[in-house]
Chain A
């Protein structure tokens, strides 16, 4: 079959199983857009800004586990995509970004809308390709998808000079059947001897903690993790990226750890004698001061990426491989030694954790407050959303206080339901990500928990939701300030709120969303909270935006004491440090 470069590109994407292409047209990509017009197999979603395209593809990827695919033009189209690519890179999300480029003979001449996309994106991609001829497109696409989705996943950029997709030159379309890159061999199967060493440490542990992160979700290891803990009954904590990989409703789940983790999770990590890290990377929001981190713990670290192990915290036992495969082998070896598992060994430790939980655990019943004497607490908004959705919704978020409240108070029992920018911390992520999730799961409830600061960073995507009829729910936790910035200014800068408020410049969000054809509700009183949220969630065929005015002085606690603190050093209230 003979095809032109633009059709070869689209056919290669179809052959990879791509359903949705998130993008925005422009000069250098016009041949490709013409090929999109002539086919019906994949659907293009026209966003309103290229950053929205990358976040939408990212949300789709996090929810489905399949790579998100983006198409942008050269120059500003490419540079606008950068924030979204960096977001996916930091959280190891599979993504393929096709960027148009000026024609080959113009490269390096400062042509109109020319930018060095390969150079600009280099530090934030797993790999990148420049297309040199139409004939190599099928091979490059196949390699790009393989690299994006295998090993530790990540974004791959393919830069496509306009002439390589010209419609007037035909080439034989012969996609490669398989892919092998000799210089790229990510580990899959673990070393069973290392797992044997891990087993003997596990059997001796008196104060163990399982610490699981986003890598366990990427590896689809949720079932294996659950099976592991059916054998061990160890306390479990999840990172912000790992929420849902172990069911929150399980008795052994202690909640999130780290900067705004629960008291019991942070105390358990600090006092542990064994930490089993599963697809987690000991980042600075988790360790606090690395030298003071978990002073008595041995570390077993399961990861697919060798460079994540012993980067911050030295591992005593490292197990490289797909986390899923490693846990399958670990479970097998543990089952062979089932008689050696002494469940009484950890009982005092479980009792201790219970005590910590009752001492300073989070209050999950704030939503029962309905007196108008007090302002609405942001935490209780999240708790209401949790109650109304039965904990079954996909929840996307932006970045700041609302994100931490969502992570603390919405309990995730399944992986891939909690969609947030953990590593890069990208404001503006939530709405476009929700759009991508809703396309993938049109029948599921998709809620974007955001704030009035973050939502305005990609608010143009309300228009995209209108074009494709995407009835997501947006819960805008409105404290009329950049809450997390303000919290830090309260705590570390003598309450000087430098540039963290907007005077009276906020839009009327209700009129704004209505102008796009959506529905808006405003809530200002505790006594209205449940009723209006119930009404909002009863609407299934329209996007609903709920603008909730909350107590602007509320802070997120617990909060680690930094700098120079350990995991046991926390603010647990405005005036209480432990």
Chain B
């Protein structure tokens, strides 16, 4: 078990944040810290744009930074669950 930092990029829509946060509770995971803001510095997300083959616009998506303490297996499971949410563009471990 170690502390992990997750980065989630999701559509900046009403209710999208609640789906991610709610999922932690539903699946029995704990959030230790949470930071969310609309993405303005699009230029820093070129890698994500390329991997998803799309172009982001300012304030169109939100960036969510979550810290949680979990094992490797559980981390993989959490990321898969978050990535499954319809409004989530990508969820990954921030190293």
Contacts and interface: CB of A to CB of B under 8 A. Distances in A.
Interface residues of A, number: 19
B20 to A, nearest CB: 11
Contacts, number: 39
Nearest to A307: B80
Contacts of B83: 306-307
Interface string B80-92: 1101101111000
A163 to B, nearest CB: 17
Contacts of A181: 86
Contacts of A184: 86
Interface residues of B, number: 21
Given A118-B15, A122-B18, A122-B22, A182 B80 contact: no
Contacts of A128: 15
A139 interface: no
Given A183-B87, A306-B80, A122 B19 contact: yes
B15 A183 contact: no
A310 B54 CA distance: 30
B50 to A, nearest CB: 14
A184 B11 CA distance: 11
Nearest to A132: B14
Interface string B58-94: 0000000000000001001100110110111100000
A518 interface: no
Q: Which of A127, A147, A183, A311 has the largest count of B CB atoms less than 10 A from its CB?
A: A183
B14 A130 contact: yes
Contacts of A122: 18-19, 22
Interface in A107-148: 118-119, 122-123, 126-128, 130, 147
B86 A311 contact: no
B3 interface: no
A156 to B, nearest CB: 9
Nearest to B10: A183
B84 A123 contact: no
B11 to A, nearest CB: 6
A126 B80 contact: no
B26 interface: yes
Interface in A306-327: 306-307, 310-311, 314
Contacts of B15: 118, 128, 130
Contact of A123 (B26, B87, B88): B26
Nearest to B15: A118
A310 B10 contact: no
A307 B81 CA distance: 6
A182 B81 CA distance: 17
Interface in A10-38: none
A130 B73 CA distance: 35
Interface of A: 118-119, 122-123, 126-128, 130, 147, 181-184, 305-307, 310-311, 314
Interface of B: 10-11, 14-15, 18-19, 22, 26, 52, 54, 73, 76-77, 80-81, 83-84, 86-89
11 contacts: A122-B18, A128-B15, A130-B15, A183-B10, A183-B87, A184-B86, A306-B80, A306-B83, A307-B80, A307-B83, A310-B77
For the complex of A and B, list the 3 residue pairs with the smallest distance between their C-beta atoms, beginning with the closest.
A307-B80, A127-B86, A183-B89
Given A122-B19, A182-B54, A183-B89, 15 more contacts: A118-B15, A122-B22, A126-B86, A127-B87, A128-B15, A182-B52, A182-B89, A183-B10, A183-B11, A184-B86, A306-B83, A307-B77, A307-B80, A307-B83, A310-B73
